[in-house]
Structure 1
Amino acid sequence: MKTYRLEFTQKLPINLDTAWDFFSSPMNLAEITPQNMAFDVTSPNMASTKMYPGLIITYKVSPLFGIKLSWVTEITHVNDKEYFIDEQRFGPFAFWHHQHHFEKIDGGVLMRDVLHYSIGWGPIGVIANAMIVKNRINEIFKFRYQKVEDLFGRF
């Protein structure tokens, strides 16, 4: 099974507490996800939930072609105001491991996402990644970058 790695960074002109509070809240993910993905958190009572290892979050999402899918992730690791990791337990990928890192820097915060994923499906998955999936993931993170800049300002 071919595994891919993507990394995205962004500097934010906000303090670490503000960055952590926003990005560690499952309810804010919909705000920074393109609307055409129809992203919806379906877990109950997420608005007041603090992130912790073992937290299961359920979503409905349309990543490609408007097809609505269920996605279940588990928060596997949390180091307060430093990083958290979500892993897919059920969903569109054969493997999904997403690290969210936050580092205080002069004038703000450096945010770094490290994503490892696999589509599965052998050679068909390799072709699908090259033609569709990698580009779609990059589009999502490009949208996220711009949305976060709109919310918090340019560094």
Structure 2
Amino acid sequence: MPTYQRTAVIDADFETVWEFYDSVAELEILTPDWTGLEVARAIGPDGGRRPDGYRVGTEIHLEMRPFGLFPATEWVVAVVDREVSDDRASFVDEQVGDRGPYEQWRHTHRFADVDDGTAVHDRIDYRVPGASDLPLATPLLAGMLWHRHRKTRALLE
């Protein structure tokens, strides 16, 4: 399965970066406009509509309209793992079944306190339908993660 990874060091303390990322609101803030992504709704593990952070069992229902040219498509991801300590945090979201543009999607988000600030590491394992293991989506993912890290710097540094 193709994988894309990107790491950035943000010149901000770990608590600030983690607090920002541990919120469904950050998703729309950090996603490039060209994706046409909107959070339609988020459902916490308790069934509540406004989950407090990315807890295991949280489902995020997205609508995507790439470049504003295509009909909206649904994309549902669920948080399947989460770990938080005083100087590290991570969470993993996976596409729910066939409810999205990928055959498989697993996005691991890692954050760590480092000397220069906070390391933000994204790893995306994915499979595009009908594409075997060719890394067809890699340029789009590279652009998306570059944008996310640049925007994080602009907002938090």
TM-score computed with the length of structure 2 as normaliser: 0.83
Q: How far does residue 35 in structure 1 lie from its aligned partner after superposition?
A: 1.0
Q: How far does residue 70 in structure 1 lie from its aligned partner after superposition?
A: 0.6
Kindly, what percent of the aligned residue pairs are identical? 21
Partner of 1:58: 61
Q: Partner of 1:60: helix, strand, or coil?
A: strand
Q: What is the CA deviation profile of residues 38-84 of structure 1, one whole-angstrom value per residue up to 9, with x for unaligned ones?
A: 211111543x5232101111011134673221110000011124100
**More displaced, 95-104 or 34-43?**
34-43
Match of 1:36 among 34, 37, 48: 34
Instruction: Check if 1:150 corresponds to 2:157.
Output: no
Alignment of 1:129-148 (within 5 A): 129-130=135-136, 133-148=137-152
Q: Partner of 1:140: helix, strand, or coil?
A: helix
Give the unaligned 5+ runs of structure 1.
Answer: none
Partner of 1:97: 106
CA contact (8 A) 1:37 1:66 kept: no
**Residue type of the alignment partner of 2:112:** E
Partner of 1:106: 115
Question: For residues 42 and 53 of structure 1, what CA distance do their matches in structure 2 show?
Answer: 19
Instruction: Check if 1:88 corresponds to 2:83.
Output: no
Q: How far does residue 120 in structure 1 lie from its aligned partner after superposition?
A: 2.5
Partner of 1:22: 20
Q: How far does residue 14 in structure 1 lie from its aligned partner after superposition?
A: 1.3
**Residue type of the alignment partner of 1:121:** G
Q: How far does residue 96 in structure 1 lie from its aligned partner after superposition?
A: 0.3
Question: For residues 115 and 144 of structure 2, what CA distance do their matches in structure 1 show?
Answer: 27
Q: How far does residue 122 in structure 1 lie from its aligned partner after superposition?
A: 4.0
Alpha carbons of structure 1 residues 50 and 149: separation in structure 2 relative to 1, 3 Å: closer
Q: Partner of 1:82: helix, strand, or coil?
A: strand
Larger helix fraction of residues: 1
Partner of 2:46: none
Q: How far does residue 104 in structure 1 lie from its aligned partner after superposition?
A: 0.6
CA contact (8 A) 1:75 1:85 kept: yes
Give the unaligned 5+ runs of structure 2.
Answer: 43-48
Alpha carbons of structure 1 residues 62 and 22: separation in structure 2 relative to 1, 3 Å: same
**Residue type of the alignment partner of 1:20:** W
TM-score computed with the length of structure 1 as normaliser: 0.84
Instruction: Check if 1:71 corresponds to 2:75.
Output: yes
Match of 1:10 among 8, 12, 21: 8
CA contact (8 A) 2:23 2:52 kept: yes
